[in-house]
A and B are shown apart, each in its own frame.
Chain A
Amino acid sequence: MEVPHDAVLLRIFTSVADRWKMGPLYLGIVDKARELHLAGATVLRGPLGFGQSGKLHRGNLLPLTQDVPVVIEIVDSEDKINEFLPVLDEMMESGLVTIEKAQVLHYGRQRASLMSRLKQQLGISARPPLVH
């Protein structure tokens, strides 16, 4: 998967408590992004915030009852993000979605994995497995 240098940063502001089908909305969005082969997604959780309702969302000592803000960040090409927006539109009931231009300087692995570097160092990379 490749991301062009001139990309788009999509940010979705919602609450941990918002639901989509049977689970939390933020997980639904991450799953959907993965299913549609978007480049990646990151979820950030905040202890405090408010939205359209004006109701203060804040964390408390019981993690299971938390109704705190979450931000999902997705960076991909403008085309991929534009394809994703109508899908997202179906999922969002309240919340905020923002779009910004972003320049991608690095995406994914640009050097060999630790395992293949080790193998290369030990000189066993190209050797086929022994057959008895």
Chain B
Amino acid sequence: MPEIAEATLLRIFVAENDRLHGHPLYHVLVGKAREMKMAGATVLPAPVGFGQSRMVRCDLNVDAGPHLPIVIEIIDSEENIGRFLPAIDGMIDSGLVTLEKVKAIFYRSAAKSAEPANV
């Protein structure tokens, strides 16, 4: 059986066109996660959604084009997520951030041939 570790899933819900210092916010968040050597980040676009503004953003609505919802997921240890949260504080103007506990199996390319995976 693979080795299962306790981890935290951080999900950040923003809009595709949210910007920070002229760059797309989701790019900045992924860049920050990379800079802080987080285990990984995945950006998932959503075709429809709404938030605090109650405006339904839908990819069928031409006007909503760049306003589509986007979810950034980062899974890492509780400590690393705890370290990341203050770093992005103030970056998100409107949006939602959630935290969940998950069990995780980290597969690292070299782990299979060399030493056993050390999470």
Q: Contact residues of A with B, CB < 8 Å?
A: 13, 44-54, 56, 69, 71, 85-86, 89, 92-100
Contacts and interface: CB of A to CB of B under 8 A. Distances in A.
B102 A99 contact: yes
Given A50-B30, A50-B40, A54-B34, A93 B109 contact: yes
Contacts, number: 87
Given A46-B43, A100-B100, 5 more contacts: A49-B42, A52-B107, A85-B2, A93-B107, A96-B105
20 contacts: A46-B42, A46-B44, A49-B42, A50-B30, A52-B40, A52-B109, A54-B37, A69-B42, A85-B1, A85-B2, A89-B1, A89-B2, A93-B107, A96-B39, A96-B40, A96-B107, A97-B2, A97-B107, A98-B75, A99-B105
Interface of B: 1-2, 4, 7, 9, 26-27, 30, 33-34, 37, 39-45, 73, 75, 100, 102-109, 112
A52 B108 contact: yes
Contacts of B37: 54
Contacts of B41: 49-50
